[in-house]
Amino acid sequence: MEAKKSTRTNVPSGFKKIETGNFPPNHDFKKNPELIGKITTIKTVPQKRGKKIENVKIIYVADTKTGEISAVWDSKALEELFSQAKVGTEIFIRGEGIVKLKGKKTMKKFTTAIKK
């Protein structure tokens, strides 16, 4: 006996769709330069960089004021923060814009802090 194909295009009311690879929206440091909140999750995901696949960390931060959760991806400028980050830690990140490096390279600059 063959299974019937569903004609439903969404999930029923009251249900939250769960999928592999779901991430909260990335925090937009251009729109809102400061993020103060508590780390709720730390994940490591494979990310293609050139021909290599590297594991990259992502932290989910619950904004202290709104409770909204946003994702922050690890970068060279956030390396030290990510090395000390733990779930439950309250953090501060301020996007300082883009800094020009030697040659044509650029790097995002951040001011970061962890609450004691």
Higher per-residue pLDDT: 49 or 68: 68
| Mean pLDDT value across the chain | 88
Q: How many CB atoms lie within 10 A of CB 106?
A: 11
3-state class of 27 per DSSP? coil
The pTM of the full predicted model, rounded to 2 decimals, is 0.77
Phi, psi of 81 (to 5 degrees): -60, -50
Q: Would you state the structure tokens that stand for residue 52, as one six-digit string?
A: 């290599």
* 3-state secondary structure (DSSP) of residue 99: strand
Per-residue pLDDT at 7: 64
- 64-83 per-position pLDDT tens digit: 999 999 999 999 899 999 99
Going by C-beta distance under 8 Å and a sequence separation of 6 or more, which residues neighbour residue 107? Answer: 76, 77, 98, 99, 101
Query: Cβ–Cβ contacts within 10 Å for residue 47, how many?
Result: 14
Domains along the chain?
34-114 (2.40.50)
